Structure 1
Amino acid sequence: MRFFARGSTIGSISGWSMLVGVACIPSLLTYAAVDLTTISTTSGNLQGVDQNGVMSFKGVRFGQAPVGALRWAPPQPFLSSDLVNATKLGPSCLQQFADPFTEALFNNPQNAPVENEDCLFLNVWAPSDSQQGQLKSVVVWIYGGGLAFGTASLPAYDGTSIAKNQDIVVVSFNYRTNVLGFPGSKDLPLQGNNLGFLDQELAFAWVQQNIAKFGGDPEQVTIMGQSAGGESVSAALARHPQDAPFRAGILFSGSIPDQIPTPNFTPFDEFAAGVGCNQTPGAERLRCLKAIPGTTIRAFTNGPGANISFAPLVDDFTLFANNLERIRAKQTARVPIFIGHMQDDGSVFTVGQTNLTQFLNTGATATGVSADLVRSLYPGLNDSQVIAAAFRDLVFGCPASLWAAGYVQSGISSVFRYEYGAVFPDLQVFPNAGAWHSTELPELFGTFNASTATPDEVTLSATFQTVVANFVKNPNASPAPNWAKYVPGSNTQTLAKLAYQGNVELNNVVMLAQSNSVDGPCEALWDRFLDF
Structure 2
Amino acid sequence: MKLHLFSSFLIATTTALPQAIPHDECPVNTTSGLIIGHPSHDRPCVDEYLGIRYGKADRFMPSQAYSSKEAHHADNFGNECPCENGVNGELPGQQNTETESRIMGYFLEIYKNVTMSDDCLFLNVWSKRNSNDRKLKPVFVWAYGGHWATGQTNTPFYYGQYLADQEDIVVVTFNYRFSIFGFGKDSEGLKDGRLALEWVRNNIKAFGGDPEQITLGGHSAGAFLADILSFAYPQDPIAQSYILQSGTATTLPAGDPSVRDEGFRNVSKALGCNDEVDEVACLQNKDLREVAAAATKQRYPTGSLKVVFGPTIDNKTVFTPSEYARRGKEGTFGKGPTLLGNADYEQGFYKLQYWAFDKLHLAEKFLYSLVQRIATCPAAQAAEWRAKTAPTWRYRYFGEYPSLALYGPNVNGSSPGSQAYHGSELTLVWGTYEPLTLVAGNAELKAMSKYMMNAWAAFIRDPHHGLEAFGWPKYNASGDTLVHLGKNDAAWMELGNSSEYDHLGDVSCATVMLDNK
CA contact (8 A) 2:216 2:239 kept: yes
Look up the SS of the partner of 1:340 in the other structure: strand
Q: How far is the alpha carbon of 1:430 from its aligned partner?
A: 1.9
Q: How far is the alpha carbon of 1:299 from its aligned partner?
A: 4.1
- Counterpart for residue 238 of structure 1: 231
- Aligned identity (percent) is 27
Which is worse superposed, 241-250 or 33-42? 33-42
- Counterpart for residue 181 of structure 1: 182
Q: How far is the alpha carbon of 1:389 from its aligned partner?
A: 2.4
- When residues 147 and 194 of structure 1 are mapped into structure 2, their CA distance, relative to the original with a 3 A threshold, is same
**Match of 2:269, as an amino acid?**
A
Look up the SS of the partner of 1:531 in the other structure: helix
Q: 1:212 aligns with which of 205, 211, 235?
A: 205
Look up the SS of the partner of 2:347 in the other structure: coil
Q: What are the ranges of 5 or more consecutive residues in structure 2 without an aligned counterpart?
A: 17-22, 90-100, 301-306, 409-416
Aligned partners of 2:379, 2:131: CA distance in 1, in Å? 34
CA contact (8 A) 1:96 1:306 kept: no
Which is worse superposed, 91-100 or 29-38? 29-38
Q: How far is the alpha carbon of 1:424 from its aligned partner?
A: 0.1
How do 1:375-394 and structure 2 match up within 5 A? Answer: 384-394=363-373
CA contact (8 A) 1:343 1:436 kept: yes
CA contact (8 A) 1:27 1:446 kept: no
- Counterpart for residue 395 of structure 2: 418
- When residues 134 and 353 of structure 1 are mapped into structure 2, their CA distance, relative to the original with a 3 A threshold, is closer
- Counterpart for residue 290 of structure 1: 284
**Match of 2:46, as an amino acid?**
V
What is the aligned length?
Answer: 463
Q: 2:473 aligns with which of 472, 484, 493?
A: 484
CA contact (8 A) 1:149 1:178 kept: yes
CA contact (8 A) 1:156 1:445 kept: yes
Per-residue CA shift, 1:210-258, capped at 9, x if unaligned? 0000010000000000001111111011112112211001000011228
Q: How far is the alpha carbon of 1:475 from its aligned partner?
A: 0.7
Q: 2:274 aligns with which of 273, 278, 284?
A: 278
**Match of 1:41, as an amino acid?**
T
Per-residue CA shift, 1:33-83, capped at 9, x if unaligned? 75311111011101110342101100001112x2xxx22111011111111
Look up the SS of the partner of 1:218 in the other structure: strand
Aligned partners of 2:80, 2:397: CA distance in 1, in Å? 29
Q: How far is the alpha carbon of 1:107 from its aligned partner?
A: 4.1
CA contact (8 A) 1:121 1:173 kept: yes
Structure-2-length-normalised TM-score: 0.83
**Match of 1:284, as an amino acid?**
D
- Counterpart for residue 493 of structure 2: 510
- When residues 312 and 24 of structure 1 are mapped into structure 2, their CA distance, relative to the original with a 3 A threshold, is farther
**Match of 2:124, as an amino acid?**
N
CA contact (8 A) 1:49 1:56 kept: yes
- Counterpart for residue 437 of structure 1: 422
Per-residue CA shift, 1:84-129, capped at 9, x if unaligned? 0101111210011353449636246566322122111100000112
**Deviation beyond 6 Å, 4+ runs, structure 1:** 22-26
Q: 1:520 aligns with which of 493, 497, 503?
A: 503
Q: Does 1:44 align with 2:33?
A: yes
**Match of 1:80, as an amino acid?**
S
Aligned partners of 1:510, 1:418: CA distance in 2, in Å? 9
Q: How far is the alpha carbon of 1:513 from its aligned partner?
A: 0.6
**Match of 1:201, as an amino acid?**
R
- Counterpart for residue 71 of structure 2: 83
Q: How far is the alpha carbon of 1:481 from its aligned partner?
A: 1.9
Q: Does 1:161 align with 2:162?
A: yes
Q: 1:452 aligns with which of 415, 420, 440?
A: 440
Q: 1:471 aligns with which of 453, 456, 459?
A: 459
Aligned partners of 1:123, 1:78: CA distance in 2, in Å? 15
Aligned partners of 1:50, 1:344: CA distance in 2, in Å? 38
CA contact (8 A) 1:249 1:338 kept: yes
**Match of 1:399, as an amino acid?**
P
CA contact (8 A) 1:493 1:513 kept: yes
Aligned partners of 1:272, 1:345: CA distance in 2, in Å? 35
Per-residue CA shift, 1:231-290, capped at 9, x if unaligned? 11110111121122110010000112284674222211111111111148xx62222222
CA contact (8 A) 2:502 2:509 kept: no
- Counterpart for residue 59 of structure 2: 71
CA contact (8 A) 2:109 2:151 kept: no
- When residues 133 and 478 of structure 1 are mapped into structure 2, their CA distance, relative to the original with a 3 A threshold, is closer
Aligned partners of 1:83, 1:522: CA distance in 2, in Å? 59
**Match of 2:441, as an amino acid?**
A
CA contact (8 A) 1:59 1:89 kept: yes
Structure-1-length-normalised TM-score: 0.81
**Match of 1:476, as an amino acid?**
H
Q: 2:83 aligns with which of 83, 95, 101?
A: 95
